Amino acid sequence: MINERNLPIFATLTVFLLLYGFGMYEYKGFRDTLVFTNLLTDNAFLIVTAVGMTFVILSGGIDLSVGSMIAFIGVLMAYLITSLHIHPILAIAISLIVGTAFGAIMGMIISVFEIQPFIVTLAGMFLFRGLAYLINLNAVPINHPFITALSDIYVSVPGRGGLTFIAMAMLVLLVVGILIARRTRFGMNVYAIGGDKQSAALLGVPIKKTTVKIYALSGLYSALAGVIFAIYTSSAYPLAAVGVELDAIAAVVIGGTLLTGGVGYVFGSFLGAMIQGVIQTLITFDGSLNSWWTKLAIGGLLLFFILLQKAIVFWAKKRSPAT
């Protein structure tokens, strides 16, 4: 029997397999490995963002600043490379440090002043977008041999597909996220805080310290997503990644993570983001539907998984000996 806590991720995996299977049945081109590897590349920045968001939602919080952080980090990285002529490796390192620091600051404000994460990260969303515009108002191309070399990395797989540097970086960051969530004390603390903050405190979990680390990790992953997005597009733009925070939240929820926290899987968020990519690809293959059908389908799936979560919680309470 499947544990009720695992039902959402099994439902997510089933939906992904059904959608992909439908694509393979309906369109011959869908059977080529090129489609799957392109999904990994095209959705790499969203998947990385969703991995960081998973830890936030697992703790019972929310981070609305990730989309603006992606744009800000991209513009900052472009400015360091093109205007200050800093080597991309150093520019990326500086950008990641800045993103992590801003995330930690938001975590400190949330934990020390006990302000709702929604409010703090909403302020961060406006702040980072404003900082991006402060650095540059227009799109900035990133023309550097190192960035071009990264973009040209390509490992062929059977069929016509191949893994780009972006896809491989995303997969590494996904594995790291899974290991942090499941194999570290920090990961266990995140689950404990999301399950019951008061009980976690009584068990000795450092609530404030862990909260700061959670938002620092989210800041780091959204900054990494910003770097990946900049490499993917070879440019930076202050209006980039508008609404990505909502796509990331949708990916996490569709991936089976409870919005109330305490239950969920990083791998589920990967599947949730891939489902969004598969829906978009199916619409592209169809050719008769516009891109707004993607939002309609994602909205329907999101509602379905929220209702599924509610049903599971109700079922678990009903089976509890206390009731």
pLDDT tens digit at each of 323 positions of the chain: 456 677 888 889 999 999 999 999 999 989 999 999 999 999 999 999 999 999 999 999 999 999 999 999 999 999 999 999 999 999 999 999 999 999 999 999 999 999 999 999 999 999 999 999 999 989 999 999 999 999 999 999 998 999 999 999 999 999 999 999 999 999 999 999 999 999 999 999 999 999 999 999 999 999 999 999 999 999 999 999 999 999 999 999 999 898 889 999 999 999 999 999 999 899 888 877 777 777 888 888 888 888 877 776 667 667 655 54
Residue 155's SS3 state is: strand
Is residue 219 in a domain?
yes
**What CA–CA distances, in Å, run from 91 to 16, 207, 236, 238?**
37, 33, 14, 17
3-state secondary structure 205-237: CCHHHHHHHHHHHHHHHHHHHHHHHHHHHCEEC
- How many folded domains does the chain comprise? 1
Cα(197)–Cα(121) distance, rounded to whole angstroms?
A: 20
Which value, in Å, is the radius of gyration of the alpha carbons in the chain? 20
Is residue 247 in a domain?
yes
Q: Which CATH number do you get for residue 21?
A: 1.10.3470
Is residue 210 in a domain?
yes
Q: Are 231 and 165 in contact (CB under 8 A)?
A: yes
Q: Are 200 and 193 in contact (CB under 8 A)?
A: yes
Is residue 322 in a domain?
no
Is residue 323 in a domain?
no
Closest CA to 268 of 43, 50, 67: 50
Find the helix or strand (DSSP H, E) in which 78 lies. helix 66-82
Is residue 103 in a domain?
yes
Q: Are 29 and 35 in contact (CB under 8 A)?
A: yes
Is residue 182 in a domain?
yes
Q: What are phi and psi of 179, to 5 degrees?
A: -65, -40
Cα(128)–Cα(103) distance, rounded to whole angstroms?
A: 11
Domain hosting 97: range is 4-317
Which letter does DSSP use for residue 64 in this model?
A: -
Is residue 294 in a domain?
yes
Residue 154's SS3 state is: strand
pTM, two decimal places: 0.94
